[in-house]
Amino acid sequence: MNNTSILRSLLCLLLLALLLCTGCGGQEAGDAVTLSFKSAARYADLKPLNGKTVTINGYMATSSPVDGSFMFLMNLPYQSCPFCVPNTSQLSNTMEVYPKNGDSFAYTNQAIRVVGRLVVAEREDEPFTDMYGYEFNYKIVDATYTIIRAEELSANMGLWQQIAESDVITEVYEMYDYVRFLCAWNTYFVNTYTDASGKVHTGYFLYPSDALAYITTDGARWNYGYKDGYFDSLVQKIEAVDKTAFADLVQNVRDAEALAARALSDLQGGKYSTTSEPTYVEKFDSYDYIYTLDNGEELKAQMNALYGAFSDWLGAWEL
């Protein structure tokens, strides 16, 4: 074989090796659309990206399934449970990410970069539901991840880890549980149940007296938010991490405090009405009085706006 033939053979082998290596390892993120947790909060922004390859940075929640069948991806480290919109099963600032068929995710507490295909629900009001009952409008599938090198992380990561370690974000979510209850207590209910003697107790939507009991009774479900100094204590915890860097979060908490005070005043002041006679309630197949809040729509709109601002603030912290 002459030198020209040998050279051609070597070139062919090199090209073959390159072709084989192209299909190895993780997915390339070069052509992927970069997502952020803030942009992912809006269905309208995600719908045009349905089916496209995307990439996003985050952390695995420790409650991700141990079998690695999928992960809860969050932009905050050290979180055990996924975040949800208050008093719902709808995921918030949390993404579900699924590996390729036959693969699984090994858990890591390090920051990771995910690459996969975005799948968006056909309709915003018809979300996906997982085995735990969580609802979500989108998911990332056929995904792989790589560990992000320390030098690639943002300069604010040290501060972000401090707020994560303080667990104050979880407390802000609990605060919104309390505020939402005050703004929409008439939509909360006690489910139908069977007691120890076998008697069935029909469910019902809360009465004003029930709502007040849930708030003002020591140890009751939402009594923590009613206690003196509750909002001040939350602000102090935030400012203890960094008063300047988290000033926007403090303002959000103060605005929520003002909304809670107004909603509580409406409840205590009787600013609600009820049906003149028992009305059929399909949920419980029974007849009962139904309450409507005089300022219900306004309170709901303010609550949603404040929670949306908090969600945007949380989602804006990029790795």
- The string of DSSP letters for the chain reads --HHHHHHHHHHHHHHHHHHHHTSSSPP-TTSEEP-TTGGG-HHHHGGGTT-EEEEEEEE-TTS-TT-S-EEEESSTT--S--BSTTSSBB-SEEEEEE-TT--PPP-SS-EEEEEEEEE-SSTTS-EE-TT--EESEEEEEEEEEEPPGGGS-TTHHHHHHHHHHTHHHHHHHHHHHHHHHHSGGG-EEPPEE-TTS-EE--EEPPHHHHHHHHHSTTSTTHHHHSTTHHHHHHHHHHHHHTTTTHHHHHHHHHHHHHHHHHHHHHHTT-EEE-SS-EEETTTTEEE--EEETTHHHHHHHHHHHHHHHHHHHHT---
* Residue 85: predicted pLDDT: 87
* Structure-block tokens of residue 196: 């120890």
Instruction: Give the residue extent of every domain in the chain.
Output: 33-152, 157-315
* Neighbouring residues of 263: CB distance < 8 A, sequence distance ≥ 6: 179, 182, 183, 299
> What's the pLDDT score for residue 226?
97
Specify the pLDDT at position 29.
56
Residue 188, both tokens: 């909360």
AA letter at 217: T
Q: Each residue's pLDDT tens digit in the chain (319 positions)? A: 444 444 344 334 333 343 333 333 345 556 899 999 988 888 999 999 999 999 999 999 999 999 999 999 998 888 888 888 888 888 889 999 999 998 999 999 999 999 999 999 999 999 999 999 999 999 999 999 999 987 777 777 888 888 988 999 999 999 999 999 999 999 999 999 999 999 999 999 999 999 999 999 999 999 999 999 999 999 999 999 999 999 999 999 999 999 999 999 999 999 999 999 999 999 999 999 999 999 999 999 999 999 999 999 999 888 7
Note the pLDDT of residue 79: 86
Distance CA 242, CA 259 (A): 25
pLDDT at 22: 32
User: Which residues are 58's β-sheet partners?
Assistant: 112
Which superfamily does CATH assign the domain made up of 33-152 to?
Nucleic acid-binding proteins (2.40.50.140)
pTM of the entire structure? 0.82
